Amino acid sequence: MVTHDDLVVKSLGPCRVDSPLLPMLEKRQRSYYNVDESDRVLFDDTLSALQARGGAIDQIPGFVPAGARRKIYFDPTKSRAGIVTCGGLCPGFNDVIRALVMELHFAYGVRRIHGFCNGYQGFIPKYKRPVLEMTPQSVSRINELGGTILGTSRGQQDPVEIVDCLERMGINLLFVIGGDGTLRGAQAISREVEERGSKIAVVGVPKTIDNDIMFIDQSFGFQTAFSVAADVIRTAHAEAKASPNGIGLVKVMGRHSGFIACYASLAHNDANFVLIPEVPFKLDGPDGFLASVKARVRDCGHAVVVVAEGAAQELMGGHSGSDASGNAKLGDVGVFIRNQITESFAADNMELNLKYFDPSYLVRSVKANPFDAVYCLRLAHNAVHAAMAGYTEVVVSRWHGRFVLLPIPLAVRDRHTVDPNGDLWMSVLESTGQPQTFG
């Protein structure tokens, strides 16, 4: 349950500085998407949900709308910005960096912009990471590249040391680009800033290739990721059809959430089985996964299986330790499923031609497609608008198609996952023809 208070966004104080964008804003006509900053974008989008809440209208949960303000908190001529990218690679990192720099420089006149290298390590003296001067010239064509020109790293660093660095450099605008772990780090930085009574805005841009941040319609890079994965599935389908009893097995990213597996499978409609972390399944038995795969091959001569990396972990004996970000280390489900299929076909003396594809790093490292490129730019613009207006401990979100400001504590409260009873998973079942459950 999300309440009115959950959506309250922290502010550093009243805005008294005229925005450099004021002449343009004064010419804009009021429209459906040009929401006044005092208005709210409702959390619920159905009449039944609003009726179920009841209560006073001023207690209905609503997001603060994103966008440029007529009055801002920071004087751009006296402001200094920092940008950092954290976590695993994702299509669109460089697009966001470039858009932040261009918006800060040209729209607001902020001339001192610094890029911190290798994630949160870039703030910590012992790592000796360089700090880059970011200018329109230095970022002019980085959007044509995959990866991130700032580099990245996993794991949290001491927020005290990070804020020490920000204060030493006189940075009052910090843009953090990353996923849920990164946003938890941003929250810790914001809390340290607050304890010191400093005036530093901390604003996040949501990056997660798995699309697993709560209360965000879609994180940047996700559409590019599932598009690349969809092409691999099409290749697996061609390989499977070309050989007798052919099986194309594709492992895609998705530690806790099967969104890439679902969307990639729907994109070309070539998959016959999709396995995701949210839907446990059984391997053996007359109604198990292996029996279903063999039945499909007997009837049709081939099959395509798509599995998210976090699926079937319980069948492999659980996790073994954690990585630098605190994520549980996963067993290799792709190799596991490949071996299970191979052994099962051999036990039944069935011919098998299985081709295994693992495009994980290819998916992560490509440049953003046109949709994500536009989305990255718009997220970045709204992040700059939010920071200049003095909002902090906030991440830019898109909710029901509208750009809004999402408090970071709410964004990291839970994880966005595929609903086994929702319409997305229903579409997967309809597309593949696989049973609702195996076993």
What ranges do the domains of the chain cover? 5-219+368-399, 223-363+420-432
Helix (H, G, I), strand (E, B) or coil at 142: helix
Q: Which of 18, 95, 158, 210 is catalytic?
A: 210
Please say if the pLDDT value at position 148 is more than 60: yes
Is 435:286 a contact under the CB 8 Å cutoff? no
Tell me which of 29 and 248 has the higher pLDDT: 248
Closest of 375, 387, 300 to residue 92, by C-alpha: 375
Distance CA 105, CA 295 (A): 61
Closest of 146, 155, 24 to residue 92, by C-alpha: 146
**Residue 217: active-site member:** no
Q: Report the CATH fold assignment for 223-363+420-432.
A: Rossmann fold (3.40.50)
Distance CA 358, CA 309 (A): 10
Distance CA 191, CA 409 (A): 11
Q: What are the pLDDT digits (tens) for 120-139?
A: 999 999 999 999 999 999 99
Closest of 47, 109, 118 to residue 79, by C-alpha: 109
Please say if the pLDDT value at position 79 is more than 70: yes
What average pLDDT does the segment 243-261 reach?
Answer: 96
Please say if the pLDDT value at position 355 is more than 80: yes
Is 228:366 a contact under the CB 8 Å cutoff? yes
What average pLDDT does the segment 79-96 reach?
Answer: 96
> Which H helix or E strand runs over 347?
helix 333-347
Please say if the pLDDT value at position 7 is more than 90: yes
15: left (phi over 0), alpha (psi -120 to 50) or beta: beta
Q: What are the pLDDT digits (tens) for 213-222?
A: 999 998 999 9
- Scan for tokens 């940075």, then name that residue: 171
Q: Do domains 5-219+368-399 and 223-363+420-432 have the same CATH topology?
A: yes
Distance CA 22, CA 201 (A): 21
What is residue 390's predicted lDDT score, i.e. its pLDDT? Answer: 98
Question: What is the DSSP pairing of strand 62-65 with strand 41-42?
Answer: antiparallel
Distance CA 395, CA 405 (A): 6
Q: The pTM is what? A: 0.93
Helix (H, G, I), strand (E, B) or coil at 184: helix
Proportion of the chain above pLDDT 90, given as a percent? 85
Query: In the beta sheet, which residues pair with residue 80?
Result: 112
Q: 5-219+368-399: which CATH architecture?
A: 3-Layer(aba) Sandwich (3.40)
Around Cβ 241, how many Cβ atoms within 10 Å?
A: 15
Distance CA 315, CA 94 (A): 38
Please say if the pLDDT value at position 55 is more than 90: no
